[in-house]
Amino acid sequence: MTKQSHPDANVYPEATGPAKQIVLAHVDEQPLKLYGSWFCPFVQRVWTVLEERGIPYQYIEVNPYEKPESLMKLNPRGLVPTLEYKGKPLYESTVVVGFLEDAYPEYKPQLLVEDPYERARLKIWEDFVTSRMIPSWHRFLSFQPKEGQSADEAKERLKKVRNDWLGYVMDFTKEMDKDGPFFVGAEPKLIDFVVAPWLIRAWVFDHYKGGQGIPEEGQEGDDEVWKRYRKYLSAIQGRKSIQETMSEQEHYLPIYQRYADDTAQSEMAKATREGKGVP
């Protein structure tokens, strides 16, 4: 597929802001290569885990809408993140982060918990993020009034997609350790890096959809769950690996504008339109 043929290919070509420094620090050849795109939340899952654990890697920027040969050879789905490990390919962000735990046990901290029951329980919530939260995040962002619909009807439908999203955020938050600040306690684990990219991008709802609707401190509707959520979000936002894998906001805007207008043609956007899950 050529650059011109994909309507989303016109993304800013490289990381900017803090993420640019991380990219520059990872240009040297390494046996572990991350084929990534600076704007991609699925990439950020893997990127933050690599950074948290100090695993040596080479970062290779690709435009997943141009699908360069180098990417397609490794991953026939043509999606980022794609990993090359000692010449062999691996992809799917949740698989990749699990693999990094197994393949690099000497790099600390490990981000999976020891206890088998707790480990399995966290898998349920990782799956919840991917199978429910992310599709709902996209349904909310891509919401459009239907043709011929009254303003009131459109408002009601928007309220519904917003409440669906908030319901998932609440369900997720209720599973957290009481004190945290992270999901299972004082230190972040894999689950936190699996969900973080979408939570820190929730500014898109304020920017494009009239607000996310999470009450602020002391506002109507504020309760223990939302207090816990705000504490969680602030802990996540404060994490160095999260901050350092973000680019300047102005370059995300044209990308999210296309989702907000429901004109994006990425696999995720198409899946959302067809009522399917994450590609």
Ligand X SMILES: N[C@@H](CCC(=O)N[C@@H](CS)C(=O)NCC(=O)O)C(=O)O
Long-range contacts from 133-138, C-beta under 8 angstroms, 24+ separation: 133/165, 133/168, 133/169, 133/172, 133/195, 133/198, 134/198, 134/278, 135/271, 135/272, 135/276, 135/277, 135/278, 136/161, 136/164, 136/165, 136/168, 137/165, 137/198, 137/202, 138/259, 138/268, 138/269, 138/272
Considering beta carbons, is residue 64 or 181 the nearer one to ligand X? 64
Q: Does 279 bind ligand X (CB under 6 A)?
A: yes
Which of 47, 65, 125, 165 touches ligand X (CB under 6 A)? 65
Q: Per CB under 6 A, which of residues 81..120 are in contact with ligand X?
A: 81, 92-93
Q: Per CB under 6 A, which of residues 31..60 are in contact with ligand X?
A: 37, 40, 42
Which of 11, 51, 59, 64 touches ligand X (CB under 6 A)? 64
40 flagged as catalytic = yes
Stretch that binds ligand X, among 14-22, 145-153, 155-163, 261-269 (CB under 6 A): 261-269
Q: Does 204 bind ligand X (CB under 6 A)?
A: no
Which of 80, 113, 134, 169 touches ligand X (CB under 6 A)? 80
Residues 6 or more apart from 265 whose CB is under 8 A from it? 6, 7, 8
Question: Which positions touch ligand X (CB under 6 A)?
Answer: 37, 40, 42, 64-65, 78-81, 92-93, 266-268, 278-279
